[in-house]
Amino acid sequence: MLDSSTIESIGLALEEAEKILVIAHIAPDGDAISSLTATGVALKQLDKDYSLVCDDGLPKRFEYLALADEVETEPDRSISYDLIISLDCGDTDRMGKAYATLPDPIPPVINIDHHITNTNFGKINIVSAKANSTTEILYELLPELGVELTPDLSTCLLTGLLTDTLGFRTANVTSHTLRVASALLDSGINLFSILTRAMDLKDIATLLIWQKGLSNMKLEEGVLWTTITNQERAEAGHNGTSSFGLGNMMANVYQARMSAVIMELEDGRVSVGFRSRPPYSVSEVATDLGGGGHHQAAGCTIEGPLEQVEALVVSKSKQAIRMQRAELKANND
Ligand SMILES: [Mn+2]
């Protein structure tokens, strides 16, 4: 539950702000992008001036979200913003250039997030690792600020909840999660149509990148990993840094305790997406490598070359499995 003093300070910050910059994380997933559009819908209702920004723009499959066409890849340089709302970002790096290139003085930040590794970088922080998605936090928060739960808003909020729980399949889903979803559906929106567009429909490039990833896959000591080079990405016609569920698929293999998709990026750095099944956790490995995330899904971006990152990631993952096994065994004894 949100405490009333935090709600009050957010209400006050919004009231005083004239130009609000709303930022979702780089390489946005469904939760990031729908938190962004949901916040836009809310600010519009509250009659506030805002910009919705994500370095990497809005992925095509989320074009059905309200205000999708308002999402920009950089802040408006002619505006001097007086408030930032950061969404689904565990640290300020996740806001990318949208934040890093802002002129001084940097306006105060409202940090709304559910990553267990969140660094509480905001002036106001609403960080709840218990929430299944950042949109679940917005579902609690926005009505407290006088925002009405319209079908457009509910569609955004449910999209974040569905995508971050992989369609209610993750370990943190509870009856509460389903009650939130149920309340959102009561505003007159259609679960099937959101599920289909947000999670099922995909570009052929996605299957081609899976094909590359699966053929490069290796399994050692419970770590199932793959590497994807820039050339392979180009051949698949794949843009961006997401593997669109390949890591999730690989973590759901009996022989795997952790999975890692290690992908070369155009600038020579390498992005790593980690996944695991309980009781194993990948958030510590990702944090150790300069990233962050959740127990079952985390990631980081490291300087290349690819082969070096691969060796590092595999050895760190094996080590994490050994340590976590030992801890589990000690706890069971
Ligand atoms: Mn999220």
Q: What's the rounded mean pLDDT across residues 18-32?
A: 96
CA of 124 to the centre of ligand 1 (A): 18
Compute the distance from residue 136 Cα to the ligand 1 centre, in Å.
9
pLDDT at 110: 98
For the stretch 63-95, pLDDT in tens is 999 999 999 999 999 999 999 999 999 999 999
Q: What is the pLDDT of residue 1?
A: 64
CB 293 within 8 A of CB 117: yes
Which positions ≥6 away from 24 have C-beta within 8 Å?
A: 32, 33, 35, 36, 52, 53, 54, 87, 88, 89
Question: Over 80: is that where the pLDDT of 241 sits?
Answer: no
290 CA to centre of ligand 1 in angstroms: 18
pTM, entire model: 0.85
* Three-state secondary structure call for residue 127: strand
- CA of residue 132 to ligand 1 center, whole Å: 7
Using the mean position of ligand 1's atoms as its centre, give its distance from the Cα of residue 78 in Å.
30
CA 333 to ligand 1 center in whole angstroms: 35
The CA 225 to ligand 1 mean position distance, Å, reads: 23
Model pLDDT, residue 239:
77
Q: What is the pLDDT of residue 78?
A: 96
Number of other CB atoms surrounding residue 168 within 10 Å: 13
Which domains does the chain carry? 4-200 (3.90.1640.10), 204-332 (3.10.310.30)
| Residue % of the chain over a pLDDT of 70 | 100
Q: Given this model, what pLDDT does residue 171 score?
A: 86
Compute, in angstroms, the gap from residue 25 CA to the centroid of ligand 1: 9
User: What residues have a C-beta under 5 A from ligand 1, the ion?
Assistant: 31, 88, 134, 164
